[in-house]
Amino acid sequence: NLGMSYSIGNVLKEAGLENIMRWIPLDLTEDEVMGIIYNKMIRPTTIPMTLEDLIVEHAVARESIRMAFNHHKYLARELKGVKRERTISDIFEEVKAEETYIDMRRVDYIIGTGGLLSRAPRRAQSMMILIDAFQPIGFTYIMQDSVFMIPHLGVLSKIYREIALEIFEKECLVPLGTVVAAAGVGTVGEKVADVVVEYSEGERESYELNFGSIIRIPIPQYKEVTITVNPTRRFDFGAGYGRKVSRRVRGGVVGVILDGRGRPLYVPQSREERGNLLLQWFSSMDLYPEKALS
């Protein structure tokens, strides 16, 4: 059980304090972070009252989702000596027995649900948590449950299927936007790709995406754009390393995110370097009030 209320202590135990601390750029001691987590464990219905509480809770959420997803990937693999019918979804690809079937290059949608995501003060916070935890590759559209209603709609669908479906489509899902992310490893500041965004009105915008950086483009949910990515040979945006790819994508309440942090996601070991990089990501995504972070 890796939840964010009574079982938040399980997340701390399984992930380890070091993995939680890596998402916190604030000058907090390990004891202070553990104190915030333990307070949440004994008072699970409370909401964060300070920016420090909020950032720590979001750090724990990243690790909780990451570990749950890793467990799912561990289960989604071939069983040695077992013959099975090939009816598995296209999202899975047959690989070696020790590897997972799940290929993030072929995941088109990620939908997040849960109380923590629903009550996040800014939608960009929810999107960033999901990106950091799932680490999508290529072009992925991200949505979230607006007010944590998906479990309840599941119950409602047993009685009023059509009503539940209508609420799900019209009221439940919040379109956060598209993330365009690279697989590969580099050095901070190294060029990852040239990106061109073409709007239906004929306007074009060009970006240079560098390793370790995030670019947020405010494109609303009702607008579609064509994004063309021309990566360097060390990076893959879903079509292969160094291969150019172009896709028509939708915006969202957060927009389109160009993620040049690599996969696996690059988080520096040095606390000072890591803190500076995290603050840059927070600023690029407009996650938290900058005055409070300075």
Query: How does residue 94 score in pLDDT terms, banded at 50, 70 and 90?
Result: very low
Max mean pLDDT range (5-9, 72-76, 199-203, 205-209)? 205-209
Last residue of a domain, one of 98, 122, 147: 98
The C-alpha atoms of residue 47 and residue 201 are separated, in whole angstroms, by: 44
Shared domain check, 175 and 53: no
Whether pTM exceeds 0.75: yes
Q: Which domain holds residue 272?
A: 103-294
Concatenating the DSSP letter of every residue in 124-166 gives HHHHHHHHHHH---EEEEEEEESSS-HHHHHHHTTT-HHHHHH
Last residue of a domain, one of 49, 77, 98: 98
Shared domain check, 63 and 116: no
Last residue of a domain, one of 63, 98, 133: 98
The H-or-E segment that residue 209 falls in is strand 204-210
Shared domain check, 86 and 24: yes
| 118-152 tens-digit pLDDT | 999 999 999 999 999 999 999 999 999 998 899 99
> Which DSSP symbol is given to 104?
G
**Domains contained in the chain, number:** 2
